[in-house]
Amino acid sequence: MRASVAGALCAALAFAAALSPGCVKRRDVSGSGDERLDDSARGDALPGQGQGDACGPDGGALLLLDAVTASPLSCTLVTVSQDATDCKSDDGTCASQELFRGRTGVQGRAQVQVAWESARVSAVAAGYRPSYREAGAVSPAAPAEIEMVPSDGFTLKFVDQDGSYLTGLQVGFKQRGEAIAQMSTNELANVYFPNRSPFAGEPVIVEAQGWAPLTVNGPQDLGSDGHTVTLHK
């Protein structure tokens, strides 16, 4: 991207934080949340990541994934908690229940047991924002998943009107009629902007072949989490 793009990719969708082709049916369960690759891999291990003897046991019921690389968070120090869903305290603050504290296994799994269909679960790790899985059923053949969202930058998830993930989708972003970014969604249907506030404070037109253009004016156009783009035919 040109230098002007970096400038343009530097000031709002701050309204949201401060924004082949495959249809993969997946539930968007984190504040971001679910499964796997992108144009650029984050090569170096984060502070909480280790290898070998520093790994936890494999086979846990919760899989943690990097929202940018779509790779498992292997051997990563993480704290997983169950968030209060029926808070009735006078000041509105309720303590969460810690479910796991330690390292994930080589496959990025944590030893967590909880009633997934009724529990809202959060995960915290170095280099990532607190990330969530909303209550919902889990397939017997797969673990529950949380997409860990990097503490820097900004992610967008692309889904169709049925909530199916749009993976491997070439997506263009225009502002004032000028192309400011061209990206491909990863295996989690995400794109990643290195800057926390990727767009200037003006409407952005999102274009993808085979889908109707979408004008994003503000967080109200990015789903309930402020990070989801829903495309229509």
**Dihedral, 67, 109, 160, 227 alpha carbons, nearest 10:** -40
CA 139 to chain centre: 20
User: What mean pLDDT value characterizes the chain?
Assistant: 81
Spell out the domains of the chain, with CATH numbers in brackets. 3-25+153-231 (2.60.40.1120), 52-148 (2.60.40.1120)
Tokens at residue 43, please?
A: 């090569």
**Distances in Å between the alpha carbon of 209 and those of 73, 154, 213?**
32, 23, 9
Q: What was the pLDDT predicted at 89?
A: 54
**What pLDDT, in 10s, does the model give residues 181-215?**
999 999 999 999 998 777 767 899 999 999 999 99
pLDDT at 97 over 70: yes
In this model, does residue 180 exceed pLDDT 60? yes
Neighbour tally for 78: CB within 10 Å: 24
Residue 143, pLDDT score: 95
Choice between 221 and 43, residue whose per-residue pLDDT is larger: 221
Q: What is the pLDDT of residue 35?
A: 34
Q: What is the pLDDT of residues 135-161, one digit of tens each?
A: 999 998 999 999 999 999 999 999 999
Read off the pLDDT of each residue in 38-45 and give the average, rounded to a whole number: 39
Alpha helices in the chain (DSSP H): 3-8, 14-17
SS3 assignment, position 163: coil
What is the band of 2 on the pLDDT scale with cuts at 50, 70, 90? very low
